[in-house]
Structure 1
């Protein structure tokens, strides 16, 4: 499926020209809290409901722009919308990283360990643990390392990471207090 893209600079210029710009940030609330485009609204991908997102649009004819950290989750959200029959969607090329690197305005908040780093830490820990238990306790524990390896292969092939989805729901990855949605 082909997903249309727009550069951060083009989107910024559209917004500056007075065009209506609806930007949905599909990262986790913690990632959003750390840094986000000032006019983005946070709707995490794991909670992304096409009907709710499109209901909240000012006009159904206006395009809907999606952004994430680097482009992958934004593309997935665009595909969800396209599969539901909504074609006027665009993914921001390079995501929030590219927006920030272009020197465009962002809101900065509390720093956090990225979800990607958390996955690498958890996967590495499980592989080391499975290998150590397999060597010193029972060879059956090697299955843990194999399971994690298979999960990483699956994540690479499908661009969907089960471990990231689980980690995103952990308490340390939740934002308490104020709502994470903006404007």
Structure 2
């Protein structure tokens, strides 16, 4: 696999042919706990940085990267590529596409995806600040600030609000991910990060 993206039917066929395919879910542990592909390894984007060179040098095979919709998996692929690993492919549409295709998932405690939480918080702040600006004009600048932040997030493919929301207790899983075990599984160094 050398393509930089792959669709859900191709990933399903790959997993069916080779159940040991390295499917790496880069979402937060809480999102992963909510629903994930059976056999996938959770290696959150925000915790992978110190391990990229080790993954690039020692990965035991090609990787399929997934997140909720695609952008975080693309960031992870770009970071892996920067570290020298070129055999990673992003599943287009992420878990949203996987579930829309009717593919099987392992379900846990239901939580909203970070992207949905960002839309709720940003939209609520904009709505409240616009309504408040009807009685106090300067409140409109709060809406402008949120709009600028969302524009910056789109241009840079990062989201400060999502990073902040991921730290909330609601977004913490029952069991924290063992990043070392995830990396060890992906590099063949022993240990199992699968749940």
TM-score of the two chains, using structure 2 as the length reference: 0.78
Contiguous gaps of at least 5 residues in structure 1: none
Q: Given that residues 130 and 145 in structure 1 are in contact (C-alpha distance below 8 angstroms), is that contact kept between their aligned partners in structure 2?
A: yes
User: Which residue number in structure 2 is paired with residue 73 of structure 1?
Assistant: 72
How many positions carry a matched residue from both structures? 180
Q: What is the alpha-carbon distance in structure 1 between the residues aligned to residue 169 and residue 116 of structure 2?
A: 16
Of 4-13 and 149-158, the range deviating more from structure 2: 4-13
User: Which residue number in structure 1 is paired with residue 12 of structure 2?
Assistant: 12
User: Which residue number in structure 2 is paired with residue 142 of structure 1?
Assistant: 140
User: Which residue number in structure 2 is paired with residue 167 of structure 1?
Assistant: 165
Of 97-106 and 164-173, the range deviating more from structure 2: 97-106
CA drift of 1:46 comes to 1.8
CA drift of 1:82 comes to 0.6
Contiguous gaps of at least 5 residues in structure 2: 183-192
CA drift of 1:135 comes to 4.1
Q: In the TM superposition, what are the counterparts of 1:1-183 in structure 2 within 5 Å?
A: 4-18=4-18, 20-49=20-49, 52=51, 55=54, 60=59, 62-137=61-136, 139-177=137-175, 179=177, 182-183=193-194
Closer, same or farther: CA 3–74 of 1 in aligned 2, 3 Å: farther
Q: What is the alpha-carbon distance in structure 2 between the residues aligned to residue 119 and residue 132 of structure 1?
A: 20
Q: What is the alpha-carbon distance in structure 1 between the residues aligned to residue 14 and residue 63 of structure 2?
A: 13
Closer, same or farther: CA 100–129 of 1 in aligned 2, 3 Å: closer
Closer, same or farther: CA 19–147 of 1 in aligned 2, 3 Å: same
CA drift of 1:179 comes to 4.2
Q: What is the alpha-carbon distance in structure 1 between the residues aligned to residue 132 and residue 80 of structure 2?
A: 45
CA drift of 1:26 comes to 0.9
Residue 27 of structure 2 aligns to a residue whose secondary structure is coil
CA drift of 1:133 comes to 4.4
Q: Deviations over 1:151-179 (max 9, x none)?
A: 11112222222111111111111113364
Q: Given that residues 35 and 106 in structure 2 are in contact (C-alpha distance below 8 angstroms), is that contact kept between their aligned partners in structure 1?
A: yes
Q: Given that residues 54 and 60 in structure 1 are in contact (C-alpha distance below 8 angstroms), is that contact kept between their aligned partners in structure 2?
A: no
